[in-house]
Structure 1
C-alpha cells in the first residue's frame, strides 16, 4: 500500500538512518523521493539492494534479480528532468519503450495490463507509467520543493494549487526564517 513504509522503516532503523519524508506521494513521485537530505546528509534508498527491495515490497512492485537499482535510478532521473523542464521528455519516452499498456475488456469494462518483457524494467516502468498518468491528470501540480537545498518532490493537492514546499513546517519555515534573517542583517 502506498504510504505504508513498513519494510523501508525497519531497514532504515537497522542502518541508523532517519525516516523518509513525504511517503504519502503517488508512485511516480515517490520514486523521486527515494533520495532525501536530513541534517545535511544525503540518503538514497537506491544505493543499497536491501533498501531498494524494501521500497519495492512496500510499493507492491515486483523485484527482479539482480535488484533493479540502475533501472529505477534511470527512471528517477528522467522524471526529475521532466519536472525541472516539462519539454525535456526524451529520457522518459526512451525508457517507456521498455514496456507498453495492453488493453482488454472484461465484464467491468476496460482493463489495462502492463506488458514489460524484461523483468528488470517492470518496477521502473510501473513508476514511469504512473508519472505519465499523473502528468496527464495534473501537469501543473507536480513540483520540486522550492527550497533550493531540498531534493524532494510532491504532487500539490492543495485547494489553490500554489503549494511551494515539501513541508511548510520543514522547508517552508526554514527558508522563510533564512530570508528574514538575511533582511534583518541587511537593514542593520
Structure 2
C-alpha cells in the first residue's frame, strides 16, 4: 500500500518534486518503487510501456533532483545543466489542427514524463516565478504554486506546517 502524499494537485513539475516528503521524522519517496512510479504516472494521465517503467522512474528521479536544485539553488550551474540536458531530449512541435493551433511533444518515450515535468517548470518560471515557493517550515521539503490573491501564502498547508510554526512561536513566548 502506498502512503498518502500530503500535497497533490500542484502543477506537474512541483508535483514531481513533492514525490518526496517528510512524515514525522522519516523522509518518504513515492518513486522508491515501480508501484509508486505507476501511481504517479496514472495520477497525471501519463502512459508508460511496462518495459520502460524502470527507465522512466530513473529519469523522473533524475529530473526531480534537477527541478528541486533549480528552485532551491537557481544560480548553481549544475542544476541548470541537468535540466537543460533533459530538455534537449525533446521538442515542441506546433501545427495547425482541425480546430486551430495545436502542439505536440516529440520526446523519447522513456524520457517523456520527465521531459514534460522539466518543460512545465520552464512554463512556471516564465509565467509566475514569484509564485513558486517552498514551504516556510524548515523541516518541510514541499513546494507549491501560491495562488492566493496577495501571493502571501507561506505554508504548503496551514493545518500542518502553519500550525506547527504558530505553536512553536507560542511555546517560545510562553517559555520566555
Per the TM superposition, whether the score is higher than 0.5 is yes
Report the Cα distance in structure 2 between the residues aligned to 1:42 and 1:170, rounded to whole angstroms.
16
Q: Which residue of 2 aligns with 1:54?
A: 39
SS in 2 for 1:101: strand
SS in 1 for 2:174: helix
Q: Which residue of 2 aligns with 1:140?
A: 130
CA shift digits 1:94-118 (9 cap, x unpaired): 211111111111233221111002x
Q: Does 1:69 align with 2:57?
A: yes
Q: Does 1:103 align with 2:94?
A: yes
Task: Give the Å deviation of 1:158.
Answer: 0.4
Which residues of structure 1 form unaligned runs of 5+?
1-10
CA shift digits 1:113-138 (9 cap, x unpaired): 11002x21111111111121122111
Which residues of structure 2 form unaligned runs of 5+?
none
Q: Which residue of 2 aligns with 1:120?
A: 110
CA shift digits 1:126-152 (9 cap, x unpaired): 111112112211111111111110011
| Aligned with residue 84 of structure 1, among 54, 65, 72 | 72
Task: Give the Å deviation of 1:44.
Answer: 0.6
Over the aligned positions, Cα root-mean-square deviation in angstroms equals 1.5
Report the Cα distance in structure 2 between the residues aligned to 1:50 and 1:66, rounded to whole angstroms.
13
SS in 1 for 2:104: strand
Q: State the 4+ residue runs in structure 1 displaced beyond 4 angstroms.
A: none
**TM-score, structure 2 as length reference:** 0.90
Q: Which residue of 2 aligns with 1:4?
A: none
Report the Cα distance in structure 1 between the residues aligned to 2:119 and 2:136, rounded to whole angstroms.
25
Q: How many residues align?
A: 170
Query: Equivalences for 1:9-48 in 2 at 5 Å?
Result: 11-12=1-2, 17=3, 19-48=4-33
Report if aligned partners of 1:62, 1:122 keep a CA contact under 8 Å in 2: no
